[in-house]
Structure 1
Amino acid sequence: MIIELLKVKIPPEQREKYIQKDAEIWTAALAKHPGFLGKEVWINPNDATEVVLVIHWATKEDWKAIPQAELEAIERKFTAAMGKSYPIVESGEYQVRKFPQK
């Protein structure tokens, strides 16, 4: 499994709208693609402006198979719904390793 991690900074008064629109637009679009396993939204209890999106993919190939033009169209729709763009301030990719339970 591959984890795509995205961190954004959102004004606290926009946070709930951002999370709702992200689910309606981004998560719904990604869920149509093979290999999408799910998504979590992490809220930092010590920083009301920080939202971390954790997207689970079966493989890196599944994640990277989404056409760039489609990603740009989804981003335009999301930006229009929010009324402005909120850039990603940090991104990362992680592999999940599972170990046998004792």
Structure 2
Amino acid sequence: MVIELLKLKVAAEHREQYIQKDAEIWTQALASCPGFLGKEVWINPNEPSEVILVIRWATREQWKSIPPEQLQQISQEFDQQLGYIHQIVDSAEYQVRFSQA
């Protein structure tokens, strides 16, 4: 399993709307992609403008096989419906390894 981690800055007063629109547009679109396993939204109680998205993929190949044009189209729709600026401040990729007790 592969984790796509995105750290965002969103104005605190827009955070809940951002999370809702992200679920309606991005999560729904990604759910139709092969290899998509799920998504978590982490909010920082000490920093209300911080949102972290943790997206789980079965394989890196499936994640990276999404056509750039499709991602651009989803991004444009999201930005248009959101109507305000948000910023990705960090992104990372992790491989998950499970150990047995």
- Give the structure-1-normalised TM-score: 0.96
2:9 matched residue in structure 1: 9
Aligned pairs for 1:23-102 (under 5 A) are 23-101=23-101
CA distance in 1, matches of 2:38, 2:18: 18
AA at the equivalent of 1:50: E
User: Offset at 1:78?
Assistant: 0.3
- For 1:2-35, what per-residue CA distance to the aligned partner results, in whole angstroms no more than 9, with x for missing partners? 0000010001110000000000000000000110
Helix, strand or coil for the counterpart of 2:78? helix
Helix, strand or coil for the counterpart of 2:98? coil
Q: Percent identity?
A: 60
AA at the equivalent of 1:70: Q
CA distance in 2, matches of 1:21, 1:95: 27
Specify every segment of 5 or more residues in structure 2 that has no aligned partner in the other structure, as ranges: none
CA distance in 2, matches of 1:86, 1:14: 9
Specify every segment of 5 or more residues in structure 1 that has no aligned partner in the other structure, as ranges: none
User: Offset at 1:45?
Assistant: 1.1
The number of aligned residues is 101
- List, as ranges, runs of 4+ consecutive aligned residues in structure 1 with deviation greater than 3 Å: none
